[in-house]
C-alpha cells in the first residue's frame, strides 16, 4: 500500500504554451500505454469505491482501471461503455476534480488517481487500435424513441436505449451532430473528429441521426408522436445567449460567446478562407465572464492571432466558475485577467465598430443568493480600455423555441422545462427532458447524467407503462 | 432531399430562382418565413426568405441575387444538384391583416421575391392592394407579372427611367399616400430603401412593416448575431422577426452590422473567382 502512494500522479504530456497558441491542435497529448498502466497501478481498488458515487453516470471506475493496469485496454473501454457512451469526450471535458477524482481516497493525502486521463486513454486506444467490436444489444422491443438534440444528454439517452433494444432517432437542428460538443467546445480542447467518432459508434449501434430539423418548427413534438414514436426525450440545451444590456452592445465587434464559438468551432471560421464563414480577428480582445466558455473564447481569440486577450470579470479569482485546469491553461498561454471589473458601455467609432470599453472597478460585499460575495461598484473608479473585439460570455438562458410550440410542457419562471427529478419526466405524457434546458447551463457530464436518469425511466415506461 | 427541381435565371443572370425539394419545410412554411441553406461542407449558412412554397409538391422556392462567394457558388448548382443542408421554416410568419383603407406593398431588388407571397395573402384576405416594385434598370425588374396578379394595381419604377416610372419606389409611395387612404405599408428591399419608406410613412402614422435580413448563423435564437435594435430593445431577427415595425428599427445600426465582414467577403469572392478561372 505504502509503495503505491509514493508513485506520483502521472502528468499527461502537453503541447508547450508557446507552441500551442499558434495552432488549434489538442493541448494534452494523451498517455502512452506505459504511462497509463503506471497511473492505473496507483488505484487502491477500494472495495466500496467513492469515486463511482462521484460519477453522474456511475462508471465502474476501479473495474476499468484494473483492466488498464493489466494491459487489457480493449476490455477496459468495454467496461466503461456499460455505463458511458461518450468516454473520449467525458475523459476530456468532465470536471473530474469535483466528481470522481474529487472523491478518490488518494486525494485526501496526496493527488487522486487521474481517472479522466485514464478514461480518455481507454477511449483513444479503442479508436486507434481497437477491434470496433460493439457491446451486446438486447433483442428488439419494437418501440420507437425520438431524441431532440444531439448534445451530451441526447447522445446518452440514444446510447442507453439502443442497447436496450429500442429504435432511436436523434433530431438535430444543425447540420452536424454533437450539440455543444461541436459548436461550443473548441478543437484544442475536444477535437471534432473525436466527437464524430463517438457519433459514429452510436450509428454503428443503430442510432439514426436526422439533421437540419428544428423540432418546434420543422416538426412539432406532437407530430413526432403521430409519426409513431412511443417516447420523446428533449435535450435541446440552454441555447439563448445572455447579453449585458449596456450601451453599445450591438456595435460591430461585439459577439456573444455562442456566436463567436459557433463560427469558429462548428463553421470552422478559424480556417477562413478555406472555409467560407468569416470571423472577426481582434488585436485587443476582451472576454467578459470567467466560466469555461469564457476561457474557450479567450484561448480561441489568442489562436486567431490577437495581441492581447483579457478576461474581464466582476468578481474575484475565487468566484471564477471555470475549471482550475482551464484557468491554468489560459494563464500559461498569456491570457490576462482583469478581475473585480465590470463593463459599463462599449464605445464605437464613426462606422459603428467597437474601439473601446468603459469599465468600473468593483469590490466584494456581502454574499448574494448564489452564496458568492456580491460585487459592488467603486464609485468614481471608471476607466477605459482599448479593444476591437469583445466576447460576452456571461451564460445562457432557456431558448423558448421548442417549449413555445409544445403544449403540455410546464416551464419554471426562467423558462426551463420542469421535470420530476427522479425520472426526468416532464408534465407531458411520454415526454422526458434533461440537460441544460432543465437545469440551466451546467456541464457535459451533468447533462449525460440527466440523460441516464431519463433513459432508465423511458425504458421502464416502454416495458412497464407511465 | 434538397434537390433543385427548377432553376431560372432572372435579371440577366444576376438573380437566380431555385425550386428545391424540401417536403417537411414546404408543409409548414408560411409567407414571411425563411430557410438557411448550405451548398458545400466548407460553406456558410445563408438565410433566405422563401418566395414560394408548394406543400403538395413538397417544394420551396428561393430567389437570390448573386452578391458574393456563397451566392456565386449557389449559382453553379444545376437542376438535379442538391443543396447539402436546408433548414426551416424559420422566423415568424407575416401577420396578414385586413385593414380599412389601402395596403401598399413596396419592393426593391430581390425584396420583391419575398414581398410577392405577402402581397398575394394580403389581397386574398380582402384588402385593396397596391404594389410598387422597382430596380435600377429595366432588366433588373423581377416578377412583374406575378406581382400584377397578386395585387389590384401595380406600379413599376426604374432608377434610370428605362421602364415604367422614372425614379424610386419611395417616390410612388409618397404620391400614393397623398392621394389615397393608405393604412398599411409593407416594404422589403435594400436597407436604404426601407429606411426612406419608413421616413415617408412616419409623419402620417401609417403602420409600416419591414422584413430584415441581418447576418445570421444558426437561425434559432442561439447565437444573437442577427440582433437588431427595435424601439430601443434588442431583438433577434431570426426568432422575433424577420418582420418588424419599421418605425422602430434602427436602420443605421443594421447597415453597420451588415458590413461586419466586408473585408472577408471580398477575399472569399476573389478567391472563388480565381478558382473558377483556374
Rg, C-alpha atoms of chain A = 23
- Domain end (from B63, B90, B117): B90
DSSP 3-state of A448: helix
pLDDT in tens, B108-127: 999 999 999 999 999 999 99
pLDDT score of B278 more than 60: no
Q: What span, in angstroms and rounded, lies between the C-alpha atoms of A119 and A333?
A: 26
Q: Does B42 contact A275 at a Cβ distance shorter than 8 Å?
A: yes
For strands B207-211 and B182-188, give the pairing.
parallel
The SS3 call for residue B181 is coil
Q: Which residue of B has its CA nearest to A257?
A: B223
Q: Is residue B69 part of a domain?
A: yes
Q: Which of A131-135, A336-340, B40-44, B144-148 has the lowest mean pLDDT?
A: A131-135
As to burial, measured by CB atoms within 10 angstroms (0-12 exposed, 13-18 middle, 19+ buried), residue B18 is buried
- pLDDT value, residue A351: 93
My answer on whether B109 and B75 are in the same domain is: no
**Per-residue b or e along A290-327, where b marks 16 or more CB atoms closer than 10 Å to that residue's CB:** bbbbbbbbbbbbbbbebebbbbbbbbbeebbbbbebbb
d(CA A359, CA B130): 52
Give me A420's grid cell.
Answer: 420530476
State whether B232 and B250 are in the same domain: yes
Q: Shortest CA distance to B237 belongs to which of B35, B119, B92? A: B92
Of B38, B256, B271, the CB nearest to A175: B38
pLDDT at B277: 59
Residue A149 has pLDDT above 80, yes or no: yes
Collapsed DSSP state (helix, strand, coil) of residue A379: coil
Grid coordinates representing B278 are 483556374
Determine phi and psi for A376, rounding to 5 degrees.
Answer: -120, 135
What pLDDT sits at residue A371? Answer: 83
pLDDT tens, position by position, A327-339: 999 999 999 999 9
Helix (H, G, I), strand (E, B) or coil at B31: coil
CA-based nearest residue in chain A for residue B229: A250
Bond into A25 cis (ω within 30): no
Pairing of strands B85-90, B102-108: unpaired
- Say whether both B105 and B155 belong to one domain: yes
B39: nearest Cα among A175, A231, A118: A175
Mean pLDDT estimate for chain A? 94
Answer yes or no: is B139 within a domain: yes
The angle at the Cα of A365, spanning A360 to A369, to the nearest 5 degrees, equals: 110
Q: Are A388 and A422 in contact (CB under 8 A)?
A: no
User: Mean pLDDT across the stretch B161-168?
Assistant: 94
C-alpha to C-alpha distance for A49 and A39, rounded to whole angstroms: 17
Residue B223 in contact with partner chain A when CB distance is under 8 A:
yes
A367 pLDDT above the threshold of 50: yes
Give the gap in angstroms from C-alpha B260 to the nearest C-alpha of chain A. Answer: 6
Q: Which grid cell is A160?
A: 442507453
| pTM, to two decimals | 0.94
**Percent of chain B predicted with pLDDT > 90:** 97
| Residue B220 touches chain A, beta carbons under 8 Å | yes
Cell 450539440 sits at which residue? A179
Q: How far does chain B reach from its first CA to its final CA, in angstroms? A: 31
Do B159 and B123 share a structural domain?
Answer: yes
Residues B198 and B112 in one domain: yes
Taking an 8 Å cut-off on Cβ atoms, the answer to whether A218 and B264 are in contact is: no
The domain boundary, picked from B178, B204, B230, lies at B204
pLDDT digit string, tens, across residues B25-49: 999 999 999 999 999 999 999 999 9
Tell me what pLDDT residue A1 has.
46
Q: For the domain that residue B63 is a member of, what is the CATH number?
A: 2.40.30.10
Q: How many residues appear in chain A?
A: 466
What number of C-beta contacts closer than 8 Å exist between A and B? Answer: 111
Predicted pLDDT at A144 = 98
CA A275, A279, A284, A289 torsion: positive or negative? negative
B234 touching chain A per CB within 8 A: yes
- Which residues of chain A does B266 touch, with a Cβ-Cβ cutoff of 8 Å? none
What does the block give as the cell for A301? 481569440
Give B82-97 pLDDT, tens digit per residue: 999 999 999 999 999 9
Sequence length of chain B is 278
Nearest to B86 among A212, A268, A280 (CB): A212
The shortest CB-CB distance from B224 to any of A214, A259, A267 is to A259
User: Shortest CA distance to B163 belongs to which of B191, B186, B133?
Assistant: B133
Tell how strand B227-230 and strand B233-236 pair up.
Answer: antiparallel
* Set of chain B residues whose Cβ sits within 8 Å of the Cβ of A353: 256
Chain CA centroid to CA B26, Å: 18
Say yes or no: B241 and B187 in one domain: no
B136/B190 same-domain check? yes
Q: What mean pLDDT do residues A167-185 have?
A: 97
Is the residue at B278 inside a domain? yes
Please give the Cα distance from B120 to B134 (Å, whole number): 18
Give the percent of chain A with pLDDT over 70. Answer: 99
The helix/strand count (H/E) of chain B reads as 9, 16
In B, minimum Cα distance to A400 occurs at B221
Cα A381 to Cα A316: distance, rounded to the nearest angstrom = 17
Whether B177 maps to a domain, the answer reads: yes
B199 plus B111 within the same structural domain: yes
Q: Is residue B95 part of a domain?
A: no
* Grid cell of A170 as nine digits: 436523434
Place of cell 459508434: A201
Q: What share of chain B is helix, strand, coil (3-state, %, to 5)?
A: 35, 30, 35
Of A315, A314, A283, nearest in space to A301 by CA: A283
CA angle A149, A151, A156 (to 5 degrees): 100
- As a whole number of angstroms, the distance between CA A294 and CA A299 comes to 9
ipTM of the shown complex: 0.94
Provide mean pLDDT across the span A97-108.
92
Do A341 and A359 meet the contact criterion of CB atoms below 8 Å apart?
yes
Q: Give me the residue from A262, A274, A275 closest to B223, CB to CB.
A: A262
Which residues have C-beta within 8 Å of that of residue A389, sequence separation ≥ 6?
A253, A255, A280, A281, A282, A283, A284, A285, A286, A301, A306, A354
Residue A5 has pLDDT above 60, yes or no: no
User: Which of B28, B44, B221 lies nearest to residue A218, judging by beta carbons?
Assistant: B28
A189-243 residue pLDDT tens: 999 999 999 999 999 999 999 999 999 999 999 999 999 999 999 999 998 999 9
CA dist., res. A454 & res. A435, Å (int): 10
Residue A3, pLDDT above cutoff 70: no
The pLDDT value given to residue A465? 77
Q: Please, are residues B232 and B207 in contact by the beta-carbon 8 Å criterion?
A: no
B125 reaches A (C-beta below 8 A) = no
Q: Which residues is B102 bridged to in the sheet? A: B128, B182
Cβ-based neighbours of A338, under 8 Å, separated by 6 or more? A310, A311, A312, A313, A359, A385
- B232 in a domain, yes or no? yes
Q: What are phi and psi of B170, to 5 degrees?
A: -70, -25
Helix axes A61-69, A115-129, angle to 10 degrees: 60
Q: Give the closest residue to B213 by CA, choosing from B247, B184, B251.
A: B251
Q: What cell numbers appear for A326 in the block?
A: 482551464
3-state secondary structure of B148: helix
One domain for residues B52 and B144: no
pLDDT at residue A2 greater than cutoff 60:
no
Q: From B84, which residue of chain A is nearest by alpha-carbon distance?
A: A175
Continuous segment of H or E residues that includes residue A117: helix A115-129
Same domain, B120 and B177: yes
Domain stop point among B146, B177, B204: B204
SS3 B139: helix
Half-sphere exposure of B78 toward its Cβ, with a 13 Å CA cutoff?
Answer: 0
Residue A369: predicted pLDDT: 84
Q: Collapsing DSSP states into helix, strand and coil, what is residue A298?
A: helix
Whether omega for the bond prior to residue B242 falls within 30 degrees of 0, making it cis, is yes
Range of the domain at B149: 100-204
Q: Which of B223, B229, B250, B258 to mutate to test the interface with A (most CBs of A within 10 A)?
A: B223
Q: How far apart are CA B10 and CA B109, in angstroms?
A: 11
What is the rounded distance in angstroms from the CA atom of residue B153 to the CA atom of residue B266? 40
Quote the minimal CA–CA distance from B135 to chain A in Å.
27
Co-location of B37 and B70 in the same domain: yes
Same domain for B121 and B85, yes or no, is no
Is B271 domain-assigned? yes
For B27, nearest residue in chain A (alpha carbons): A218
Please determine, for residue B24, whether its predicted confidence score (pLDDT) is greater than 80: yes
Each residue of A224-233: b (16+ CB within 10 Å) or e?
A: bbeeebbbbb
In angstroms, rounded to a whole number, what is the distance separating the alpha carbons of residues A386 and A393?
19
Query: Min CA distance, A240 vs chain B (Å)?
Result: 5
Residue by residue, DSSP assigns A414-429 as TSPBP-BTTTTB-SST
Q: Taking CB atoms and an 8 Å cutoff, what residues of chain B touch A403?
A: none
pLDDT at B135 over 70: yes
Residues whose CB falls within 8 Å of the CB of residue A108, separated by 6 or more in sequence, listed in order: none
Whether A214 and B217 lie within 8 Å, measured CB to CB: no
- Taking 90 as the threshold, does the pLDDT of residue B274 lie above it? no
B76 touches chain A (CB under 8 A): no
Cell of B26: 414546404
pLDDT value at A301 more than 50: yes
A353–B225 C-beta distance less than 8 A: no
CATH, residue B146: 3.40.50.80
Q: Does residue A324 carry a pLDDT above 70?
A: yes
Structural domains of chain B, count: 3
Give the model's confidence band at B275: pLDDT under 50 very low, under 70 low, under 90 confident, else very high. confident
Amino acid at each position: 500500500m505504502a509503495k503505491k502512494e509514493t508513485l506520483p500522479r502521472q502528468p499527461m504530456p502537453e503541447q508547450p504554451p508557446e507552441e500551442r497558441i499558434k495552432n488549434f491542435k489538442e493541448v494534452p497529448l494523451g498517455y502512452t500505454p506505459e504511462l497509463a498502466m503506471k497511473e492505473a497501478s496507483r488505484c487502491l481498488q477500494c472495495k466500496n469505491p467513492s469515486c463511482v458515487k462521484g460519477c453522474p453516470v456511475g462508471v465502474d471506475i476501479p473495474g476499468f482501471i484494473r483492466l488498464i493496469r493489466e494491459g487489457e485496454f480493449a476490455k477496459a473501454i468495454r467496461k466503461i461503455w456499460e455505463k458511458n457512451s461518450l468516454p473520449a469526450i467525458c475523459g476530456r471535458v468532465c470536471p473530474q476534480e469535483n466528481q470522481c477524482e474529487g472523491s478518490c481516497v488518494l486525494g485526501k493525502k496526496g493527488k487522486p488517481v487521474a481517472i479522466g486521463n485514464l478514461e480518455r486513454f481507454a477511449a483513444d486506444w479503442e479508436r486507434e487500435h481497437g477491434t470496433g467490436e460493439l457491446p451486446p444489444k438486447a433483442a428488439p422491443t419494437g418501440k420507437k424513441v425520438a431524441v431532440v438534440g444531439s448534445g451530451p444528454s441526447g447522445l446518452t439517452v440514444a446510447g442507453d436505449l439502443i442497447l436496450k433494444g429500442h429504435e432511436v432517432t436523434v433530431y438535430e437542428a444543425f447540420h452536424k451532430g454533437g450539440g455543444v460538443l461541436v459548436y461550443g467546445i473548441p478543437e484544442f480542447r475536444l477535437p471534432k473528429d473525436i466527437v464524430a467518432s463517438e457519433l459514429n459508434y452510436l450509428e454503428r449501434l443503430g442510432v439514426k441521426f436526422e439533421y437540419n430539423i428544428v423540432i418546434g418548427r420543422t416538426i412539432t413534438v406532437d407530430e413526432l408522436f403521430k409519426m409513431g414514436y412511443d417516447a420523446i426525450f428533449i435535450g435541446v440545451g440552454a441555447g439563448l445567449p445572455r447579453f449585458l444590456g449596456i450601451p453599445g452592445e450591438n456595435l460591430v465587434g461585439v459577439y456573444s460567446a455562442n456566436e463567436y464559438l459557433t463560427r469558429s468551432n462548428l463553421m470552422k471560421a478559424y480556417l477562413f478562407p478555406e472555409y467560407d464563414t468569416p470571423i472577426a480577428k481582434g488585436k485587443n480582445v476582451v472576454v467578459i465572464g470567467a466560466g469555461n466558455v469564457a476561457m474557450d473564447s479567450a484561448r480561441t481569440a489568442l489562436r486567431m492571432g490577437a495581441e492581447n486577450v483579457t478576461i474581464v470579470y466582476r468578481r474575484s479569482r475565487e468566484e471564477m466558475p471555470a475549471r482550475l485546469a482551464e484557468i491554468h491553461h489560459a494563464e500559461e498561454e498569456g491570457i490576462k485577467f482583469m478581475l473585480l471589473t465590470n463593463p459599463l458601455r462599449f464605445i464605437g467609432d464613426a462606422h459603428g465598430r467597437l474601439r473601446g470599453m468603459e469599465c468600473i472597478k468593483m469590490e466584494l460585499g456581502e454574499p448574494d443568493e448564489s452564496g458568492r460575495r456580491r460585487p459592488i461598484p467603486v464609485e468614481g473608479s471608471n476607466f477605459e480600455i482599448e479593444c476591437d473585439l469583445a466576447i460576452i460570455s456571461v451564460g445562457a438562458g432557456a431558448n423558448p423555441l421548442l417549449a413555445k410550440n409544445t403544449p403540455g410542457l410546464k416551464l419554471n419562471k426562467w423558462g426551463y422545462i420542469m421535470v420530476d427529478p427522479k425520472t426526468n419526466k416532464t408534465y407531458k405524457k411520454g415526454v422526458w427532458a434533461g440537460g441544460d434546458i432543465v437545469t440551466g447551463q451546467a456541464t457535459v457530464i451533468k447533462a449525460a447524467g440527466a440523460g441516464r436518469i431519463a433513459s432508465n425511466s423511458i425504458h421502464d415506461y416502454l416495458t412497464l407503462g407511465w | 432531399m434538397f434537390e433543385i427541381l427548377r432553376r431560372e435565371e432572372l435579371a440577366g443572370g444576376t438573380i437566380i430562382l431555385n425550386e428545391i425539394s424540401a417536403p417537411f419545410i414546404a408543409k409548414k412554411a408560411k409567407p414571411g418565413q425563411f430557410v438557411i441553406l448550405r451548398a458545400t461542407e466548407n460553406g456558410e449558412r445563408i438565410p433566405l426568405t422563401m418566395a414560394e412554397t408548394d406543400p403538395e409538391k413538397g417544394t420551396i422556392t428561393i430567389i437570390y441575387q448573386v452578391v458574393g462567394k456563397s451566392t456565386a457558388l449557389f449559382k453553379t448548382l444545376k437542376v438535379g444538384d442538391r443543396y447539402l443542408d436546408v433548414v426551416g421554416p424559420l422566423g415568424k410568419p407575416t401577420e396578414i391583416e385586413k385593414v380599412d383603407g389601402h395596403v401598399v406593398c413596396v419592393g426593391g431588388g430581390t425584396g420583391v421575391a419575398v414581398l410577392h407571397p405577402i402581397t398575394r395573402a394580403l389581397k386574398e384576405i380582402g384588402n385593396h392592394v397596391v404594389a410598387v416594385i422597382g430596380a435600377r434598370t429595366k432588366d433588373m425588374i423581377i416578377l412583374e407579372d406575378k406581382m400584377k396578379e397578386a395585387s389590384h394595381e401595380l406600379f413599376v419604377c426604374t432608377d434610370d427611367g428605362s421602364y415604367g416610372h422614372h425614379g424610386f419606389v419611395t417616390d410612388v409611395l409618397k404620391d400614393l399616400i397623398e392621394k389615397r387612404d393608405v393604412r398599411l405599408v409593407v416594404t422589403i428591399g435594400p436597407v436604404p430603401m426601407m429606411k426612406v419608406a419608413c421616413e415617408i410613412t412616419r409623419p402620417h402614422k401609417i403602420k409600416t412593416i419591414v422584413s430584415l435580413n441581418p447576418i445570421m448563423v444558426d437561425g434559432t435564437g442561439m447565437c444573437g448575431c442577427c440582433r437588431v435594435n427595435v424601439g430601443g430593445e434588442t431583438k433577434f431577427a431570426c426568432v422575433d422577426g424577420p418582420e418588424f415595425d419599421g418605425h422602430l428599427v434602427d436602420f443605421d445600426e443594421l447597415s453597420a452590422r451588415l458590413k461586419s465582414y466586408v473585408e472577408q467577403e471580398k477575399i472569399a469572392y476573389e478567391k472563388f473567382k480565381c478558382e473558377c478561372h483556374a
